[in-house]
Amino acid sequence: MTNEPLVSRNVSMRQQERQKQKTQQHYEMNSRRVDRQSNEYNQSVAAAEDTYMRDALTQVRQSDVTHNETLMRHNGTWMWNKK
């Protein structure tokens, strides 16, 4: 005999459902953890091969355009963006 009290059918169904949900969440988390490394690699390769973004970034780096200094001082980003 076990020392567990008897519970109603509704309570046991809710407990079963909670346990099933918990098991499903663990399964999903573990599968994401396994896939994470390959996903990161694939994203890195895709980003390196994206010529449009590479060209856009090159243009941004060459650009001389900046934000209004008064606005940056107001928002607190002036300290990092001053020339």
Q: What pTM, to 2 d.p., does this model score?
A: 0.44
The number of angstroms, rounded, from the C-alpha of 20 to the middle of its chain's C-alpha atoms is: 25
Asked if residue 79 belongs to a domain, the reply is no
Asked if residue 49 belongs to a domain, the reply is yes
Cα–Cα distance, 29 to 9 (Å, whole number) = 30
Asked if residue 75 belongs to a domain, the reply is no
Give 23-82 pLDDT, tens digit per residue.
999 999 999 888 888 888 888 888 888 899 889 889 988 888 777 777 777 766 656 656
Cα–Cα distance, 43 to 50 (Å, whole number) = 10
What is the per-residue DSSP string for 11-42? HHHHHHHHHHHHHHHHHHHHHHHHHHHHHHHH
Asked if residue 39 belongs to a domain, the reply is yes
Note down the domain range covering 53. Answer: 9-63
Asked if residue 55 belongs to a domain, the reply is yes
Query: Which amino acid is it at 77?
Result: T
